[in-house]
Amino acid sequence: MTKEVVANIQYGGDYAEKLREAAESGECVFCQDTFQRDSKFFLMGYQGWIARKSEFPTKDVLGGIPDHHILIVPERHVGSYEDLANQDHVRVSTIVAYLRSRLGIRGGGLVHRLGHPLYSGATVLHVHFHFVVPRIIEIDGEPRAVFVNMPIG
Residue 53 is predicted with a pLDDT of 96
State the CATH number of the domain containing residue 76.
3.30.428.10
Q: Does residue 109 form part of some domain?
A: yes
**91 in a structural domain:** yes
Q: Within a domain: residue 110?
A: yes
Dihedrals phi, psi of 114, to nearest 5 degrees: -135, 160
Provide the whole-model pTM.
0.88
Its domain, for residue 23, covers 13-145
What is the rounded distance in angstroms from the CA atom of residue 127 to the CA atom of residue 112? Answer: 8
* Residue 70 CB contacts under 8 Å (≥ 6 apart), including other chains: 43, 51, 52, 53, 54, 99, 130, 131, 132
Displacement of CA 119 from its chain's centroid (Å): 17
Residue 51 burial (10 A CB sphere; 0-12, 13-18, 19+): buried
What are the pLDDT tens digits along the chain (153 aa)? 345 666 555 666 777 777 778 778 878 888 887 787 788 999 999 999 999 999 989 999 999 999 999 999 999 999 899 999 999 999 999 999 999 999 999 999 999 998 888 788 888 889 999 999 999 999 999 999 999 988 887
C-alpha–C-alpha distance, residues 59 and 66, integer Å: 7
Predicted local distance difference test score (pLDDT) of residue 1: 32
Residue 152 lies in a domain: no
What pLDDT is stored for residue 100 in this prediction?
A: 98
Give the number of other Cβ atoms within 10 Å of residue 87's Cβ.
10
Inside any domain, residue 150: no
Is residue 76 assigned to a domain?
A: yes
Instruction: Please give the tally of structural domains in the chain.
Output: 1
- Is the separation of the CB atoms in 124 and 28 below 8 Å? yes
Q: Rounded to whole angstroms, how far apart are CA atoms 138 and 120?
A: 33
Asked if residue 2 belongs to a domain, the reply is no
In a domain, 8, yes or no: no
Chain CA centroid to CA 5, Å:
15
CB-neighbour burial class of residue 69 (10 A; exposed 0-12, middle 13-18, buried 19+): buried
